[in-house]
Amino acid sequence: MSVSDAKAGGPGWVESSIVVQGAEGLHARPAIKLSRAARGYSAQILIRAEGGESWVDAKSVAKVIALRVETGKAVLLRASGADAEAALAGLCDLVARDFAEEGGA
């Protein structure tokens, strides 16, 4: 499925949104963690800043940081593929944990 299909949403896509907390928003370190985590899933995953217009590939750190999501702003996540549900759950959990390492301090 192409990105343009995804922009239309529609069948096959699951969607979720979450507010980015933490001191500095989705800056370098969180953007790296988010894109790394996204690459762990086979689903196509797109991300958009709330109020923004473009959906971008969540597996690309360059695209994610270019969204310039500041702290307190929400992001929308959209996934399609075999593990789409798991991907959204996992990524939302990562954001909710404020990008802390799992099981770590």
Partner 1 sequence: MNAFAGRVASPGVAAGILRRDMPLPPGTGRAANGLVGAIAMALGQLSALQASARGLGSDIVQFQIEMLEDERFVLELLEAAIAGGDAEAAVAAVLGEQIDAFAQSGSETFSARAADLADLRDRLLAALRGTVRDTAELPEGTILLVEELVPTRFLELDLRKVSGIVDQRGSTASHVALLARSEGIPMLVDTGALDEALEGQAVTLDAATGRLLLGSAPGPAELEEGQPPAIADREGEGAALTPQGRRIAVNLIVNALSVLEEAPPGWFDGIGLVRTELLMHDETVLTGEDAQAALYAPLFDWAQGKPVSIRLFDGGGDKPLPGLSVPREANPFLGVRGARLLMRHPEVVATQLRAILRAAAGRPVRILVPMVTLPAEMEFFRAALASAISALGADAGPDSRKAMLGMMVETPAAALEPGSFDADFFALGTNDLVQYTLAAARDSDALELGDALPEVVLALIRRVVEHGERSGREVTLCGDVSGRSTQLRQLLDCGVHSFSVPKRFAPQLKHFIRNGE
3-state secondary structure at position 53 = coil
Dihedral sign from CA coordinates of 75, 38, 96, 30: negative
Count the site residues for partner 1 by CB under 8 A. 18
Question: Which residue, 63 or 97, is less far from partner 1 as judged by CB?
Answer: 63
- 73 by Cβ neighbours in 10 Å (0-12 / 13-18 / 19+) ranks as middle
Q: Which of residues 34-73 bind partner 1 (CB under 8 A)?
A: 35, 57, 59-63, 65-66, 68, 70
Question: What residues between 5 and 34 interact with partner 1 by CB under 8 A?
Answer: 23-25, 27-29, 32
Please say whether the beta carbons of 78 and 54 come within 8 A: no
Binding site for partner 1 (CB under 8 A): 23-25, 27-29, 32, 35, 57, 59-63, 65-66, 68, 70
